[in-house]
Amino acid sequence: MRLVDFDVLTFDCYGTLIDWESGILAALAPWRKRAGVTLGDEALLTLFSEVESKIEAERPTLLYSDLLTATLLEMGRRSGHGATQTEAAAFGQSVKDWPAFPDSADALAYLKQHYKLAILSNVDRASFAHSARKLGQSFDLVVTAQDVGSYKPALAHFEVALAKLAAMGIPKQKVLHTAQSLFHDHVPAKKMGLTSFWIDRRAGKTGTGATKPPPEEVKPDGTAPSMAALVAMHMRETAR
């Protein structure tokens, strides 16, 4: 696989471009302190991954901000440290505070010179608008869960994006799906016949953090530990 062989990079946003694990933990801090939650960070992220993905599958048309609210209420029930409605509602609105990874904006600015850039995200439009400002780019295409009425790993994000890109004259073979989550992104990307590139933001860590482990083995076509490393790979290819 060569990066220069593609015309479009489709990105997952949260976990790939936005540091959602740091954002999630920061947003959970008031509840943890008030309720005396004793779970460590990794255990809490694992609990989040289990609850969030279950609600996404069961209530696919729920806005992501409301889904986060429901997620904290269920995390409270499962952990034995109940969350208040106020705490859950604040967590639901926390996406606006989740930080971008330090390399994301610069990497996207570089890549924009060489590719069309698209977002395929499990989020609502209002929440994504805050993140887009942190990333500093106007994307050529944005497909959210709110738009398609389902959450990845369901295939609707990919079906809609590929149809819109095809209408622009861009075939599937020229699209590289770039993402951190094997569960949410690489498994469905492969089902769609897409080439995929893994931004392994958790390289060196055990477990899968805020994302569930994939239900089956999946092999991305390329990998790098960061967006900066992806840019460096592209620079090496174009310098040859």
Active site residues: 12
Is residue 83 within a helix (H) or strand (E), and if so which, with residue range?
none
Cα(176)–Cα(187) distance, rounded to whole angstroms? 14
| C-alpha neighbours within 13 Å on the C-beta side of residue 70 | 16
Cα(46)–Cα(39) distance, rounded to whole angstroms? 10
Rounded alpha-carbon distances, angstroms, from residue 107 to 4, 5, 8, 170? 15, 18, 15, 23
Contact 179, 186 (CB under 8 A): yes
Rounded alpha-carbon distances, angstroms, from residue 229 to 29, 154, 201? 31, 29, 11
CA quadruple 100, 103, 104, 109: dihedral, nearest 10:
140
Rounded alpha-carbon distances, angstroms, from residue 75 to 45, 88, 183, 208? 10, 10, 20, 18
**In the block, which residue shows the tokens 């092999």?**
219
- Which of 105, 110, 92, 158 has the alpha carbon at shortest distance from 136? 105
**Three-class DSSP category at 157:** helix
